[in-house]
Homo-oligomer: A and B are copies of this chain.
Amino acid sequence: MQPKPVETTSDSVRVGILDAAEARFRIYGLNKTTMAEIAHDMDMSASNLYRYFKNKQDIAAACACRCIDTQTDLLRGVVRTPGLSAAEKLERCALEMLRYTWETAHDQPRINELVNHVILEHRDMVHHKVQESCSLLAEVLAQGNESGEFEVADVVKTAETVHAALKMFHVPIFMSLYAHEVLMLRARDVVALLISGLRGRDHEPSQ
């Protein structure tokens, strides 16, 4: 009477394959990692990998998905931290996200390249990630409304607005264009200006 083992065996193999693949992708990148190598790490034949994944692209996509989830988890961690004001959470969200994006872009260029590549054929993954981020931001805005810090009419729409204004700090391309310090200061400033706006009485989302 185990609790929901469902497909324990098959699933754990899948996870194992992803772990092995990710480890190699990190070091050698997607193109320089062969199915044979991943299979060898798992003590199986290359052909057997196809029992768990449709093809190599699918393994890459699943890896990218896990990376993106890590980002969302990070945000969730901040948003669900007890004892922080909404304004503090908003700032931490922006700065944590920036830190993570920066570090990934610099310390794990291979994985970053992998994610960028996968995203090209899975636009929906980006939209899903953005939506999750916005949901979390909406939570913060709602908290701000309750505590009286903010006065936001439409938390969902405004979350999207805030997310758009912070886009620059989420996107790897900009990481190589500016120094880390500059980005941190800039992010702080943008958040401060946004918070100032969220307090305002007269902000009306269009339509």
Binding site for B on A (CB under 8 A): 123, 126, 157-158, 160-162, 164-168, 171, 173-174, 177, 185-186, 188-190, 192-200, 202-207
Query: Of B123, B186, B204, which is within 8 A of A160 by CB?
Result: B186
Chain B residue nearest to A198 (CB atoms) is B193
Can you name 10 extra interface pairs (CB under 8 A) apart from A165-B190, A173-B173?
A126-B177, A162-B193, A165-B168, A165-B194, A192-B204, A192-B205, A193-B197, A193-B198, A194-B194, A196-B197
Q: What are 15 of the A-B contact pairs (CB < 8 Å)?
A: A160-B186, A160-B189, A162-B193, A164-B186, A164-B190, A165-B166, A167-B174, A173-B173, A185-B207, A189-B205, A189-B206, A195-B197, A196-B197, A197-B200, A199-B200
Alpha-carbon separation in the docked complex, A171 to B174 (Å): 11
Query: Of B166, B186, B193, which is within 8 A of A194 by CB?
Result: B193
Alpha-carbon separation in the docked complex, A202 to B164 (Å): 23
Q: Is the CB of A193 within 8 A of B123?
A: no
